[in-house]
Structure 1
Amino acid sequence: MTSITTDAAVATGGPRGSGRRKRQPGWFIPWLFVAFFGVVVAANGIMVYVAMTTYTGLETDNHYLKGLHYNAALEGARAQTERGWKVDLAFQSQAPRKGIVSVTLRDRYGNLLTGSVVKAAFIRPTSANHDVALELPYLGDGRYGTDVELPFSGNWDLRLTIDHSTGDYQNQQRVWVK
């Protein structure tokens, strides 16, 4: 006796009627798309979280108010140039995280500028929590200076401000600390 297979037996997965259908080729492809976009959304979410919870990039406090006074800052820079002071700023790093900052002040005619208040601020370019501000004492012969110890080696911005009865002076330069 020969067995005849019916369409119902093929549709159910075999002649025994197991009740399971055979999956079509490529049935998983839509799930690959879902997984791909799930990974993309998760990666973007992580990047947004990291961007929002780390360094803001804001270096200047009250930047809006300082922007309103920008023309006054330009006028101050022009007056600083007209005074023609000769300011020699030097920083020497001789030991790890230590250095000597010194400033020599002269007016445009070469006369010593005494009686100034000289301040130096070491600003870490990558973080605002490690800045070091100091006032430089007068050492004689137009020189101001002191030793400084910083919390980290590497690049620092040295911001110099000088207040004198004939005017003020500002300058900034990048220095390397061993």
Structure 2
Amino acid sequence: MSQSVARPFTGRHMAAIMLAFFGVVIAVNLLMAQLAGRTFGGVVVQNSYVASQHFNRWLDEAGAERGLGWGAEIGHAADGTIRVTLQGVPAGAQVTGEAWHPLGRAPDRVLRFRGTGTAFRSLEAIPAGRWRIRIEVRAGARRWRREQVVA
């Protein structure tokens, strides 16, 4: 019968364990940083100080828009165009818009709409997927905006 001899735990064993542990931690951190950098550019506004100077005006504009009582349903049609159905908007309103991919993977697109009454459809088709759509409705001197995610 043979007897196995236990080898002692040495400093080399501990060094190998520490190198393996920190190697895994560093590799995961590098992977996560690379994935985060590819999916979000990090720019919400170009200059946060300048944006802060306009904040109260933006709040006043939003309050005035809410007071109009207008509404909109925004959706992605089967042909790739964006359809907008307005509620409470006077006749003769004009609709414009923008579409951008939330993660910046596709270029931003300017949307032009054609329609009558309360139903509008974009002239440009956008690819399938998740898009953030911002529309602006103008009727005379009144302006109303809405932003919505469309999938």
Q: TM-score, normalised by structure 2?
A: 0.71
| Mapped partners of 2:65, 2:36: distance in 1 | 40
Q: How does 1:70-85 map to 2 (within 5 A)?
A: 70-85=55-70
Q: 1:133 aligns with which of 94, 110, 115?
A: 110
User: Which residue of 2 is the match for residue 120 of structure 1?
Assistant: 97
Shift of 1:44: 5.7
Q: Which of 43, 46, 67 in structure 2 is aligned with 1:62?
A: 46
What do you get for the CA RMSD once the two structures are aligned? 3.0
- Structure 2 matches for 1:140-159, cutoff 5 A? 140-151=116-127, 153-159=128-134
Does 1 or 2 have the higher relative contact order (CA < 8 Å, sep 6+)? 2
CA 1:47–1:140 in structure 2 vs 1: closer, same or farther (change >3 Å)? Answer: closer
Alignment of 1:74-113 (within 5 A): 74-85=59-70, 87-95=71-79, 98-104=80-86, 106-107=88-89, 112-113=90-91
TM-score, normalising length: structure 1: 0.62
What is the percent sequence identity of the aligned residues? 17
Aligned residues: 143
CA deviations over 1:103-160 (Å, ceiling 9, x no partner): 43644xxxx331x4421222211225432221213x3335433344223x22222211
Contact 1:106 1:113 survives alignment (8 Å): no
**Taking structure 1 as reference, are residues 148 and 101 closer, same or farther at Cα in structure 2, changes over 3 Å only?**
farther
The 3 A distance-change label for structure 1 pair 29 and 169 is same
Shift in Å at residue 79 of structure 1? 0.7
Matched residue of 1:26: which SS? Answer: coil
Task: Report the structure, 1 or 2, having the larger helix content.
Answer: 2
Structure 1's unaligned 5+ residue stretches are 1-23
Q: Is the contact made by 1:136 and 1:145 (CA closer than 8 Å) also made in structure 2?
A: yes
Gap change, CA 1:43 and 1:146, over 3 Å in 2: closer
Instruction: Give the distance between the partners of 2:98 and 2:26, measured in 1 at CA.
Output: 42
Q: Deviations over 1:12-55 (max 9, x none)?
A: xxxxxxxxxxxx83333243245235514642662475267434
Out of 153-162 and 61-70, give the one that drifted further. 61-70
Larger Rg: 1
- Structure 1 residues 71 and 101, CA gap change in structure 2 (3 angstroms): same
Any unmatched runs of 5+ in structure 2? 1-6
- Partners of 1:157 and 1:55 in 2: how far apart? 15
